[in-house]
Amino acid sequence: MENDPRRRRSRGGRRRGGTGGPDRGRPTRTPAEPKPPQPARGLARRDRPQRRRGIAARSPDELRPGAPCLIVMDCREGEPDRTGAAAVFEGFFDLETGDPRRAGFGVPRLRIVRAGPASPTPLEPHSMERLWGFECWWRPDPVNAGLTDADRIEVEQSKRLLRGLIRDSRRSPRPALAR
């Protein structure tokens, strides 16, 4: 039965059983260094920072749903003006469907909690007024400090800069970026 088609020949590689001859011995390794003694398990767990497997650790400044925010300037036309209003960050959402999205893949949405000093009309107690992040200038306000003098100064500087850019673009026959 030398030409039996069911039996396959070995194509080299590792052979089953046997030591493989004198020149095919196991490679020699230097012995591993002994590990230092570890503290008790309970202490080691408390000292180690908590990590969740497979998920990157969040930075402390990462914006999470429910974080308090401040409307620095309401850019919408008409009333009411919500500049200085306290808001809550609801998360990132798809603009067309309203479905939740991950950060960087959606538009931020804010829910107004308390009317600002610039608003002539008070906020109704159970109001669900929401703003998209591009309808206003906003910032996180973790300490609920409200509208500060620095915020007012930055808004006025930004307004002046935008007015200057608009004025220059009207004077020039070609786009300002093409210069």
Domain residue extents for the chain: 68-146
CA distances from 85 to 66, 80, 101 (A): 15, 11, 25
Which ranges of the chain have pLDDT less than 70? Answer: 1-27, 39-61, 116-127, 174-179
Question: Would you say 131 and 75 are in contact if contact means Cβ atoms under 8 Å apart?
Answer: no
* CB-based burial label for 163 (10 Å; 0-12, 13-18, 19+): exposed
Query: Which residues contact residue 44 at a Cβ distance below 8 angstroms, ignoring those fewer than 6 apart?
Result: 38
Residue 90, pLDDT score: 92
pTM: 0.53
Helix (H, G, I), strand (E, B) or coil at 140: strand
Residue 69, pLDDT score: 92
Angle subtended at Cα 23 by Cα 7 and Cα 29, rounded to the nearest 5 degrees: 110
Residue 148, pLDDT score: 87
Over residues 14-64, the pLDDT tens digits come to 656 555 555 556 667 777 787 877 766 665 555 555 555 555 565 655 788
